[in-house]
Structure 1
Amino acid sequence: MAVRSAGVTLAPPLIYLIFVLFAWALSRQLPIPLPDNDWTRYAGWGLIDAGLLLMIWAALLMARHKTTINPFRKPQQLLEKGPFRFSRNPIYLGDTLIYCGIGLLLANLWPWLLLPLLIVCMNRGVIRYEESLLTRLFGDTYRAYQARVRRWL
């Protein structure tokens, strides 16, 4: 697999997929059931929809400003508007909302038990390297943005 310029080798969507599949497998092998009713299913689909909308919003903004959405390429500019006003990582936040929605639909505790590990993997294995790259590329402008806007929310 190609190594992105920030040094990360696994694509973030693949990390989320691995965690979803692992949670699903654990829920089948060692089930820890949670409520499964209309409300949990509505909430699950609502989180998935919210995550998709957030990701689309961020991706369209990135395309409009001609900067890459591909984590294996170097960004051309720093975005500070749209969803980037309240999260430095709105696409990863969207991925996490989708993961949580799937967790509700699985009606099992495993996705929730794995969620902290997923966040740690994203922070240490992806976001830290991206932040390092953005600091090298955009310097004080990025540091000021980091001081104003939280990593997740």
Structure 2
Amino acid sequence: MAEDESPDTVAFRLWPPVAVGAPLLVGWLVTLLWDDPVELGDWRVPVGWALVLVFVVWNGWSLWLFHRHETGLLPGQATQAMIEEGPYRFSRNPLYVGMLALYLGLALLAPSFWALVLFPVAVLLVRWGAIRPEEAFLRERFGASYDDYTRRVRRWL
């Protein structure tokens, strides 16, 4: 462990907003430079806004629970509690699920076919850069309680 790392915090390989935002930005830039080979159609607007709304409600609920349990959210803030209620009953990673819903919503609203094509890259980057280190940290920090939680609740949905 590096000197500046605390045993109470997750050491991400890649900060989650970067893991999600980088492929989205690349997709938008490719669309701007070379245009999209496929017209997404008018359906994309209501679906895009619905996904943005899902992000706001779902992540707002998740963040409220972090506050209520007085546990750290941002890198460098200590993890004091394992949350198992609200969206955490359905997903071990509701904030990442919400961020990925936002990604899809923004890609549809832009519109950017290339951002949609790069969506799996965002999923893989979140899994590698954030979820894997976070799961190892939580397993070490909470032990059997976390193992029980992983048996009851899926990683995504």
Aligned to 1:29: 33
Aligned to 1:119: 123
Is the 1:36–1:105 contact (alpha carbons within 8 Å) kept by the matching residues of 2? no
Bigger relative CO (Cα 8 Å, ≥ 6 apart)? 2
Is the 1:84–1:90 contact (alpha carbons within 8 Å) kept by the matching residues of 2? yes
Is the 2:20–2:123 contact (alpha carbons within 8 Å) kept by the matching residues of 1? no
**Runs (4+) off by over 4 Å:** none
Post-superposition shift, 1:24?
Answer: 0.4
Let me know the Cα RMSD of the aligned residues.
1.7
> 124-133 or 108-117, which moves further after superposition?
108-117
- TM-score normalised by L of structure 2: 0.88
Post-superposition shift, 1:120?
Answer: 0.8
Post-superposition shift, 1:3?
Answer: 6.4
Name the % identity.
Answer: 33
* Count of matched residue pairs: 151
Aligned to 2:23: 19
Aligned to 1:108: 112
Alignment CA distance shift 1:72-1:51 (3 Å)? same
Post-superposition shift, 1:34?
Answer: 2.8
Matched, 1:136 2:140: yes
Matched, 1:46 2:50: yes
Post-superposition shift, 1:9?
Answer: 4.8
Post-superposition shift, 1:8?
Answer: 1.6
Deviation string, structure 1 residues 105-138 (Cα, Å, up to 9, x no partner): 1233212211111111111111000000000100
The answer for unaligned runs of 5 or more in structure 2 is: none
Post-superposition shift, 1:74?
Answer: 2.8
Deviation string, structure 1 residues 47-92 (Cα, Å, up to 9, x no partner): 0111111110000011011111113323101010000000001111
- Other structure's SS at 2:143 match: helix
Aligned to 2:62: 58
The answer for unaligned runs of 5 or more in structure 1 is: none
> 16-25 or 120-129, which moves further after superposition?
16-25
Determine the C-alpha separation between the residues in 2 that align with 1:23 and 1:72.
30
Post-superposition shift, 1:151?
Answer: 0.8
